[in-house]
Structure 1
Amino acid sequence: MSPQLAPVPQPIGIFNQFIAPHSETLILREKVMSLSGDSFEIKLQSGQPLLRIQGSVLSLSGRKSVFDMAGNHLFDICKELLHLIHTTYAVEDPSKKKLMEVKSSFTLFGSKATATFTSANGTAEALEMKGNWFDTAADIIDKKNGAVVARIDRKLLSGRDLLFGQQTYALTVAPGVDMALMVALCIAMDEKNNDEKR
């Protein structure tokens, strides 16, 4: 059973059509036979498809394009190459306008990153992701009030995932939070940690 998260006081996110109506768990699974190795399918825990992420094979920035199930291009996730100290990812709309920035920082144990963006209602947001990414879990926390807005859990590995080295995550999103942006945060951290392994 997935953990339930408390609702946020006001909506957090950019894509109103992806605001979670209740505590919702998504399953992010890297496609086993993807040519780029960086394509994901995102489904609700019920099995209903939500988003599709397609990696670009020849991109220096590791660009990933995110589409809804109707094929609409929502945004891209890409590494910003000019940042030397802190790994930084940008979430850009199809016209390359930056919607969100995800910047990692050093920690002695575990992983930490901060995402900044402006919600659809005009509120400046800062979310911090911290936890033991390599082991099992990470929380995404609203820096204004310390509330957990999403939780990432990597305990859902199947034998097939281990055999093919593919990633599978459960992402639980609090009511009132943009599920698409939480997926973008999860993918950015996955990319950062994959870069560190190379």
Structure 2
Amino acid sequence: MGYQLAPAPQPIAIFAPFIARQTETLVLREKVMSLSGDSFEIKLQNGQPILRVQGSVMSLSGRKSVYDMNGTHLFDIVKELFHLIHTTYVVEDPRKKKLLEVKSSFALFGSKATATFTNANGAAETLTMKGNWFDSAADIVDEKTGNTVARIDRKLLSGRDLLFGQQTYALTVAPNVDMALMVALCICMDEKNNETKSY
């Protein structure tokens, strides 16, 4: 399962411990019967768990908290409620400092969103997510190089991965790219998709 993606020429990362050393395919699977809202398990293709996402039912902003496998709180994903035209999600560290902003925009066909953040080395970064999200496929592209740094795809998964109406995505991440950062972008796109389907 998965694609081979070219390495990013420079690291694209906020969370350096999660930089992929080779092309990695992660599986994001929503937990069945989660009582706390959308909760995800994130595992490498070989089954090794790397991250845990816990949703909050009582939060208007749909807050999702992301932890490593040692239980360390890495960041939260939150919808900013005061944006009327463009749906906007932010990724905050545990002290509520904004690390990343994801804004959706209109696309004639499919979905589009732009993520802006400051890289671990201090450089400003812009990533664009484009794709047919209703068909559950999108590419995450580095605006500087035009390279695809990650690909989100449900078509790679077998029928047993789609049981019980679970949201399940394969996320392929290029070498030299932060897997935790790409997980955050995938969850933002999933949230936007779920919001659109609810109208």
State the Cα distance separating 1:157 from its structure 2 match. 5.0
State the Cα distance separating 1:159 from its structure 2 match. 4.2
State the Cα distance separating 1:145 from its structure 2 match. 1.3
TM-score between both structures, scaled by the size of structure 1: 0.97
Give me the whole-angstrom Cα distance separating, in 2, the residues matched to 1:85 and 1:67: 31
State the Cα distance separating 1:27 from its structure 2 match. 0.3
Deviations 1:152-188 (A, max 9, x none): 01111534634x2111100000000000010000000
Structure 2 match to 1:31: 31
Unaligned 5+ residue runs, structure 2? none
Alignment of structure 1 residues 91-110 onto 2, 5 Å: 91-110=91-110
Give the partner amino acid of 2:69.
M
Structure 2 match to 1:87: 87
Give the partner amino acid of 1:158.
G
State the Cα distance separating 1:108 from its structure 2 match. 1.2
CA RMSD of aligned residues (A): 1.0
Alignment of structure 1 residues 174-185 onto 2, 5 Å: 174-185=174-185
Deviations 1:30-58 (A, max 9, x none): 00120134000000000000100000010
Runs of 4+ in 1 over 4 A off after TM superposition: none
- The yes-or-no answer on 1:44 pairing with 2:41 is no
Structure 1 match to 2:151: 151
Deviations 1:104-152 (A, max 9, x none): 0001110100000011101110000000111141100001110000000
Q: Alignment partner of 1:183: what SS?
A: helix
Give me the whole-angstrom Cα distance separating, in 2, the residues matched to 1:160 and 1:5: 23
Give me the whole-angstrom Cα distance separating, in 1, the residues matched to 2:117 and 2:178: 12
Give the partner amino acid of 1:145.
T
Give the partner amino acid of 1:18.
F
Give the partner amino acid of 2:162.
D
Alignment of structure 1 residues 157-176 onto 2, 5 Å: 158-159=159-160, 161-162=162-163, 164-176=164-176
Give the partner amino acid of 2:159.
S
- Does the 8 Å contact 2:161/2:168 carry over to 1? no
Structure 2 match to 1:16: 16
- Count of residue correspondences: 197
TM-score between both structures, scaled by the size of structure 2: 0.96
Structure 2 match to 1:53: 53
